[in-house]
Every structure is written in structure tokens, then in C-alpha cells.
Amino acid sequence: VTTPGTPVAAGFDAIAREESSFDARVFVEGSKAAYEMIVTSFARGERKALKGLLSREVFEDFDQAITEREGRGETAQTTFVSMEKAEIISAEVKGKMAFITVRFAPKLISTVKDAAGQIVDGAETVVDVVETWTFSRQLGSRDPNWLLVATEAGS
């Protein structure tokens, strides 16, 4: 997953010192599944599904965006086509918190439609997307889930 001696490898080592069961490959697979679940749940406005996957701050931002979309009478639809690439670009431990940042390159079909069903954003074609997401988890916690704590588009 990474080259020995790099900052990412050092981050993995720091995580593994706290949790010997940490496996970067398993993390990447889980992050890809989380990406798809979060993107599609956000489009459908499924707050309950999102709540357990996002930090409180990110959830509040997503909730506000969903509320604004609903207030405009708009509906969103995202179809996950494929994940072309998921690359860990940083891994670090701060105190007892681990942070791993992943650059995703999925193919999506994503639209937002107004109340009349007209597309106001996106297109009904496959689009290449690049997003960088940071996940965090308290090391030593019984909860195995990593939470999304930051997103950045196009990086």
C-alpha cells in the first residue's frame, strides 16, 4: 500500500503501535465502501445512515446542505459507477487520534432536479470525480469505525 520510509508508512507504523490489528489494505477497502455509502446516502437525504459515518461537524454541514436542498424542492440522485482509484496520501497520529487521508477517483452519475424534474445541476452522464477525504478514529476505542472528518473536492 505504501513505500517504506515515507511519511505515510511512518503514519501506519504509528497507528500499528497503538493497534497491532491495523491493516492498511483493509482500511482502503473499508474507505471505498464508506465513500460509496456516504455519497449515495447524502444524495438520498438519508440522515440516519450518515450520522454513524460522519464526525459531528461534517454531519452538521451535510444536514444543512440536505435541508437547503429540500427547502428548494430539489432532489438529488447519485449513481456510483466505479472506483477507479483510492490512494492513501497521508496517515498520522495526534495524541490518541489517528487520521488517514484518501484521494478517491470514482466515476459517478450525479444530478440535482428541481420540483418539476428538470436538471438544475449535474448531468445524466458518467463523470470522473476527484475528492480527498480524511477519516479519523480514536485509537484503542472499541468502536472499529472510522468517521469522515473532512472533505475536499478536486484535489
Among residues 94, 89, 64, 76, the alpha carbon closest in space to that of 40 is found at 76
**Can you tell me the mean pLDDT for 95-117?**
95
CA distance 154 to 84: 15
Q: Would the pLDDT of 95 be above 90? A: yes
Question: Would you place residue 3 in the very low, low, confident or very high pLDDT band (cuts 50, 70, 90)?
Answer: confident
